[in-house]
């Protein structure tokens, strides 16, 4: 039989466009002679639909869409994902389901058993885990159909007490199909191939794996659907970060072939290259799916805003990016020149809006209260917040969306001004460490100098007081980033980090800064997630807690 | 035997103070002749500790604290709650556990089976559900000990497929003890008594129920621990919103007595009275637990900021509240007078800081870009954001925490300025509808006029342009609040709301406004939760979704 895998970009709750897209690809697959076309997890409503799933009307609309899809599915079979009602009296109200539709009829329903409920996942919030497992007969073959996490129960340290394939294998299936919504991180593609290959070789069955693609606010789904043979060998890998459909001929357990030019990646992709592509998709989908076209950002002459500006220009077109230089009396001449050079290199729109009259007005206005107290963080933050007011005024007047330019290192230690440089509709590099921002800048400059080299090599500075440097209050970024990663991603105790050779005082200071900045991070924009542990929805910390702070 | 119930206020991750507090109450209970003293769920680390639970060191510190508590528990028994390691290879790494400690030794460990994972709860993120249920023998009696949700599996529409008491009852226990961390909402106390009474009468056992008290950022735990007899009759109710310890003599299933003056509430408490008490505790604990003393807020002369100011003065002392009047050219004379009257009534600190020079500076600064385009929301928001910059500058200079004064109706429909009046460390009335804010104002004024009557009776206005009224862009609040409640709390479809008699256009407009404001709410401060469905951690919505928007 000929199996088509369709990895598509869905829009949460946009039933019209999702349904239309699925039906169009069913037609295309039929035209190309496919017997079965497979779509990704919860493709009907988009993933993650979050608490929309608690609205009965939303579930009804899923059902209506599935009916339309079934009607269009004539002369071919398809697999789609959608939430369905749990009609038993007990347990959660919904299942995370897959419909196997053949010739206009729903022939089988499979419910997900293993519900991820960690990091960014909240599936047990909505779904009851399935306890029944049955293969699907189709064209004389038996399909073991599972949904995403169902194949992810680690064999050495299982997170769940059941494993659907252990039951399904007893029914002697001929092949496995898994539909997924597996979000990107720069470590995840390798892990995914490993665990899926492990499944294929253990059960000695070929595996067809379809992932979604596209960004849903902070979560980026990278596609990269896979076909693995019954020895665990990866035989095809669909493109990453773009929609695609591909066709495979399944004859028997040990006979899967295809005719197209494979997109199997020969070598491991660099993390920076992956991050780059992920962020481009993240920006693009954020704007496209929320119905906006144009971005604005403040350009300081530093590396963070330069990188964000270059990424935005690539994602949205430079004609859709407005860069604003907002010099203060503390801005250095080279910063203005570096920012202007960048704008020229990119060809985006730009404005220069000095903030000195505004900050002077704040100082005069607050003189009776401040009463000649010495310059401190209050005056520093006034500058940062004045810039935010101006950028947001531009948004309100002209319809731009403000891009946040904070990096992960700053976000971690609270080195940023709430309601100042921490503003924005979406945080573009909030999951990219400062050391990675440097790499990203060099990566962007690979073919020609887009980001002025001076922005890359000069010492980072917030330029909120004379001769300020980031290292005045923070350790060097190569040290800082390692400590943050060990604590935030590795959840190491401070003693264990110190044992790795870091200075005790520095480690304790950094961890304390991380823990006392939760109130700031709570109010920051959604952050495009590229790492296994990003700030935001996947990391939930108490604010008034008193642990290591 | 004599049983002491201790409902205490814990601080998340503050092992030193939690342990000390527990040990102190063990000593007190022993002095008062108790055989057993019962503390609340996860009292050792505080609830909810969220992702701190993912840190091994945090779990180790729980163990160390429990050891100290056990050592202090001589000549008496106690029940404490803490996370413990799941030593089985399968499943999540932790259990949500209770230790039964007798004479210095951990005699029994009970693990929670039903893990709430809805609204503000995320317990399946961390814990494996228990599948083993055993009673504890103590002084010739058999105790069926369960943890919070274990008794909450609805009998008509069960959310879970197991019910621990159905197994425990087979072991013929003499009494039930349940330790809880059950957060307040103004509907929850009645519901709690109902479901616990139902358990007591079904199993024909007396029930001793201990809840935690105290606010953990947005979540407010209200105490109100309960003793119910084996017919389901409520025989004692401990105080709400304060720490307490109380003693009960248990002779047999049908013989529970006590000698103290009961705090059993004779009549149903009014919702407004409960909200009032909850918010006072919420403010107080936010400041106390984060180590701050003084609050600041912008006072407009309107009812919202007036109510917040009065609540803050009550919670923190009027000497710790700084009210700032920030008049613009659009502020009416009566607004300034109303604000000044309030400040005089309360006796709090105040400053008048006019914003006209600042807003003028922004307008001059932006003149080249705005180029005489008509006044619109950009200029309105500049005013609101200028106020935020001033208030935050005062925070940075003097160490105040800014209180957010947005109400739930505004938060719902996005009637507020991001980085403007939506700023703050904590949102005080963000879960209180505008119509409830009026009630709260009258409640505060019960004995004397604290909030100027004019602030209560005048038509609400943002005063960001001449003669602006809230009703220019929103329906009347009594209609608006009902629609919001039906949609947000009831998850009604628009058709169902219209069927209840509301105007179709208004309903669709309100629901659309709610859905297109998710990006704003994502960046707002934590909101003190008083309703069954508050904006914030208990309501998780997609931002780029396209459902009803």
Picking from A89, A290, A545, the nearest residue to B52 by CB comes out as A545
Parent domain of B281:
273-470
The C-alpha atoms of residue B177 and residue B209 are separated, in whole angstroms, by: 6
On whether both B284 and B228 belong to a single domain, the answer is no
The C-alpha atoms of residue A400 and residue A204 are separated, in whole angstroms, by: 53
pLDDT at res. B227:
98
On whether both A117 and A220 belong to a single domain, the answer is yes
Angle at CA of residue B251, ends B247 and B252, nearest 5°:
125
Residue A466 near chain B (CB below 8 Å): no
Residue B401 to residues A49, A400, A415, B346, B396, Cα–Cα distance (Å): 35, 31, 18, 19, 9
The C-alpha atoms of residue A69 and residue A18 are separated, in whole angstroms, by: 10
* Number of other CB atoms surrounding residue A320 within 10 Å: 18
Q: Are B363 and B379 in contact (CB under 8 A)?
A: yes
pLDDT at res. B438:
97
pLDDT at res. A526:
98
The C-alpha atoms of residue A282 and residue A286 are separated, in whole angstroms, by: 6
On whether both B236 and B114 belong to a single domain, the answer is yes
Q: Which of A392, A416, A393 is nearest to A405 (CA)?
A: A416
User: If you count DSSP H runs as helices and E runs as strands, how many of each does chain B have, helices first?
Assistant: 16, 20
pLDDT at res. B401:
98
On whether both B208 and B282 belong to a single domain, the answer is no
Chain A residues in contact with B391 (beta carbon < 8 A): none
The answer to whether the Cβ–Cβ distance between B546 and A12 falls below 8 Å is: yes
Q: CATH number for the domain including A405?
A: 3.40.50.620
On whether both A148 and A277 belong to a single domain, the answer is no
The C-alpha atoms of residue B252 and residue B268 are separated, in whole angstroms, by: 30
User: Would you tell me which residues 106-165 of chain B have a C-beta closer than 8 angstroms to some C-beta of chain A?
Assistant: 117-118, 122, 124-125, 157-161
Residue A13 near chain B (CB below 8 Å): yes
Q: Assess if residue A491 is contained within a domain.
A: no
Q: Which of A244, A239, A231 is nearest to A204 (CA)?
A: A231
pLDDT per position as a tens digit, A131-164: 999 999 999 999 999 999 999 998 888 999 999 9
Picking from B50, B362, B542, the nearest residue to A542 by CB comes out as B50
Dihedrals phi, psi of A11, to nearest 5 degrees: -120, 120
Chain B residues in contact with A494 (beta carbon < 8 A): 57
Residue A46 near chain B (CB below 8 Å): yes
Residue B418 near chain A (CB below 8 Å): yes
Q: What three-state secondary structure class fits A93?
A: coil
pLDDT at res. A156:
86
Beta bridge partners of B422: none
Indicate which residue of B43, B62, B73, B148 is catalytic: B148
The C-alpha atoms of residue A406 and residue A527 are separated, in whole angstroms, by: 10
Q: Are B76 and B45 in contact (CB under 8 A)?
A: no
On whether both B344 and B316 belong to a single domain, the answer is yes
**Structure tokens of A426?**
């979406």
Residues contacting residue A152 through CB under 8 Å, at least 6 positions apart:
A114, A116, A159, A195
DSSP state for residue B432 in the 8-state scheme: S
pLDDT at res. A401:
98
Picking from B12, B125, B289, the nearest residue to A117 by CB comes out as B125
Place of tokens 């109400």: B407
pLDDT at res. A266:
79
Q: Assess if residue A437 is contained within a domain.
A: yes
The C-alpha atoms of residue A382 and residue A419 are separated, in whole angstroms, by: 10
Q: Assess if residue A509 is contained within a domain.
A: no
Q: Which of B192, B183, B186, B182 is nearest to B439 (CA)?
A: B186
User: Could you tell me the pLDDT band of residue A284, with boundaries at 50, 70 and 90?
Assistant: very high
Q: Are A421 and A410 in contact (CB under 8 A)?
A: no
On whether both A341 and A254 belong to a single domain, the answer is no
CA atoms A69, A75, A80, A82: torsion sign: positive
**Structure tokens of A2?**
């000929």
Q: Assess if residue A201 is contained within a domain.
A: yes
Q: Assess whether B348 carries a catalytic annotation.
A: no
CA distance A144 to chain B (A): 24
Q: Assess if residue B492 is contained within a domain.
A: no
The answer to whether the Cβ–Cβ distance between B361 and A366 falls below 8 Å is: no
Q: What three-state secondary structure class fits A510?
A: helix
Q: Dihedral (C-alpha) B365, B370, B375, B378: value to the nearest 10 degrees?
A: -70
DSSP state for residue A486 in the 8-state scheme: I
pLDDT per position as a tens digit, A210-261: 999 999 999 999 999 999 999 999 999 999 999 999 999 999 999 999 999 9
The residue from A227, A260, A293 where one domain ends is A260
On whether both A241 and A301 belong to a single domain, the answer is no
DSSP notation for A70-81: HHH--SSEEEEE
* Number of other CB atoms surrounding residue A61 within 10 Å: 21
Is A112 a residue whose pLDDT tops 90?
yes
On whether both A78 and A207 belong to a single domain, the answer is yes
Residue A532 near chain B (CB below 8 Å): no
Chain B residues in contact with A57 (beta carbon < 8 A): 493-495
Is A62 a residue whose pLDDT tops 90?
yes
Picking from A58, A357, A378, the nearest residue to B364 by CB comes out as A357
User: Could you tell me the pLDDT band of residue A279, with boundaries at 50, 70 and 90?
Assistant: very high
The C-alpha atoms of residue B404 and residue B526 are separated, in whole angstroms, by: 10
The residue from A260, A284, A310 where one domain ends is A260
Chain A residues in contact with B12 (beta carbon < 8 A): 542, 544-547
How many CB pairs below 8 Å do chains A and B form together? 269
CA distance A518 to chain B (A): 11
Indicate which residue of B43, B62, B78, B112 is catalytic: B112
On whether both A194 and A287 belong to a single domain, the answer is no
The residue from B224, B256, B288 where one domain ends is B256
pLDDT at res. A303:
96
pLDDT at res. B372:
93
pLDDT at res. A269:
86
Is A467 a residue whose pLDDT tops 90?
no
Chain B residues in contact with A419 (beta carbon < 8 A): 385, 388-389, 392, 419, 423
Q: Assess if residue A123 is contained within a domain.
A: yes
**Structure tokens of A527?**
């952050």
Residue A390 near chain B (CB below 8 Å): yes
Residue A523 near chain B (CB below 8 Å): yes
Rg of chain A, C-alpha, whole Å: 26
Q: Assess if residue B104 is contained within a domain.
A: yes
Residues contacting residue A132 through CB under 8 Å, at least 6 positions apart:
A111
On whether both A291 and A417 belong to a single domain, the answer is yes
Beta bridge partners of B106: B101
pLDDT per position as a tens digit, A179-208: 999 999 998 999 999 999 999 999 999 999
Q: Assess if residue B496 is contained within a domain.
A: no
Mean pLDDT for A403-432 is 98
Q: What is the number of structural domains in chain B?
A: 2
Q: Assess whether A395 carries a catalytic annotation.
A: no
pLDDT at res. A450:
97
Please, what is the end-to-end C-alpha distance for chain B in angstroms? 61
Q: Assess whether B495 carries a catalytic annotation.
A: no
Residue A490 near chain B (CB below 8 Å): no
Q: Are A78 and A69 in contact (CB under 8 A)?
A: yes
Is A60 a residue whose pLDDT tops 90?
yes
Q: CATH number for the domain including A82?
A: 3.60.110.10
Report how far Cα B21 is from the mean position of its chain's Cα atoms. Answer: 22
Low-confidence ranges of chain B (pLDDT < 50): none
Is A122 a residue whose pLDDT tops 90?
yes
pLDDT at res. B268:
79
Which region, left, alpha or beta, applies to residue B349 given φ > 0 means left and ψ of -120 to 50 means alpha?
beta
User: Would you tell me which residues 281-320 of chain B have a C-beta closer than 8 angstroms to some C-beta of chain A?
Assistant: 285-286, 289-290
The C-alpha atoms of residue B392 and residue B399 are separated, in whole angstroms, by: 10
The answer to whether the Cβ–Cβ distance between A376 and B388 falls below 8 Å is: no
The answer to whether the Cβ–Cβ distance between A52 and B355 falls below 8 Å is: no
The C-alpha atoms of residue B291 and residue B142 are separated, in whole angstroms, by: 44
Angle at CA of residue B345, ends B342 and B346, nearest 5°:
90
Picking from B50, B286, B381, the nearest residue to A541 by CB comes out as B50
The C-alpha atoms of residue B481 and residue B436 are separated, in whole angstroms, by: 9
Taking all residues of chain A, what is their mean pLDDT, rounded to a whole number?
96
On whether both B194 and B133 belong to a single domain, the answer is yes
């Amino acid at each position: 039989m000929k199996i088509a895998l369709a990895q598509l970009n869905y829009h949460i709750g946009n039933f019209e466009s999702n349904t239309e897209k699925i039906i169009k690809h069913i037609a295309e697959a039929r035209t190309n002679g496919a017997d079965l076309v497979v779509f990704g997890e919860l493709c009907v409503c988009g993933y993650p639909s979050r608490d929309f799933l608690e609205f009965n009307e939303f579930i009804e609309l899923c059902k209506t869409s599935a009916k339309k899809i079934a009607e269009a599915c004539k002369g071919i079979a398809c697999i789609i994902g959608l939430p369905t009602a749990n009609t038993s009296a007990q347990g959660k109200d919904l299942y995370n389901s897959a419909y196997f539709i053949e010739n206009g009829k729903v022939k089988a329903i499979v419910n997900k058993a293993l519900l991820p409920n960690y990091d960014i996942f909240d599936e047990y919030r909505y779904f009851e885990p399935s306890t029944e497992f049955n293969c699907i007969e189709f064209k004389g073959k038996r399909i073991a159909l599972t949904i995403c996490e169902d194949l992810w129960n680690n064999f050495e340290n299982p997170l769940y007490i059941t494993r659907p394939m252990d039951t399904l294998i007893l029914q002697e299936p001929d092949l496995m199909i898994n539909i997924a919504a597996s979000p990107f991180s720069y470590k995840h593609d390798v892990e995914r191939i490993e665990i899926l290959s492990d499944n294929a070789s253990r059960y000695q069955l070929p595996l067809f794996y379809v992932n979604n693609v596209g960004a849903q606010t902070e979560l980026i789904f990278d596609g990269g659907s896979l076909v693995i043979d019954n020895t665990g060998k990866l035989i095809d890998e669909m493109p990453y970060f773009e929609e695609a459909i591909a066709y495979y001929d399944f004859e028997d357990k040990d006979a899967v072939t295809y005719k197209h030019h494979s997109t199997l990646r020969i070598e491991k992709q660099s993390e920076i290259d992956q991050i780059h592509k992920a962020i481009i998709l993240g920006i693009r989908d954020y704007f496209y799916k929320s119905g906006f076209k144009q971005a604005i950002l403040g350009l300081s002459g530093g590396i963070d805003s330069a990188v964000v500006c270059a990424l935005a220009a690539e994602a949205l077109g430079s004609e859709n990016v407005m860069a604003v230089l907002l010099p203060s009396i503390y801005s250095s001449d080279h910063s203005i020149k570096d920012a202007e050079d960048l704008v020229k290199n990119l060809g985006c729109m730009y404005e220069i809006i000095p903030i000195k009259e505004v900050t002077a007005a704040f100082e005069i206005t607050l003189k009776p209260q401040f009463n000649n107290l010495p310059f401190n963080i209050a005056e520093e933050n006034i500058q940062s917040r004045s810039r935010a007011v101006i950028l947001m005024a531009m948004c309100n007047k002209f319809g731009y969306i403000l891009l946040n330019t904070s990096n992960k290192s700053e976000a971690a230690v609270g080195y940023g001004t709430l309601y100042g440089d921490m503003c924005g509709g979406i945080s573009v590099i909030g999951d990219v460490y400062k050391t990675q921002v440097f790499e990203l800048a060099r990566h962007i400059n690979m073919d020609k100098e887009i980001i002025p080299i001076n922005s890359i090599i000069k010492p980072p500075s917030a330029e909120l007081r004379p001769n300020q440097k980031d290292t005045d209050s923070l350790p060097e970024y190569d040290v800082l980033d390692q400590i943050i990663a060990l604590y935030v991603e590795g959840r190491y105790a401070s003693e264990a980090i110190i044992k790795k050779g870091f200075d005790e005082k520095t480690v304790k200071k950094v961890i304390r800064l991380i823990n006392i900045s939760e109130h700031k991070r709570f109010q920051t924009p959604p952050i495009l997630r590229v790492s296994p542990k990003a700030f935001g929805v996947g990391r939930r910390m108490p604010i008034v807690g008193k642990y290591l702070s």
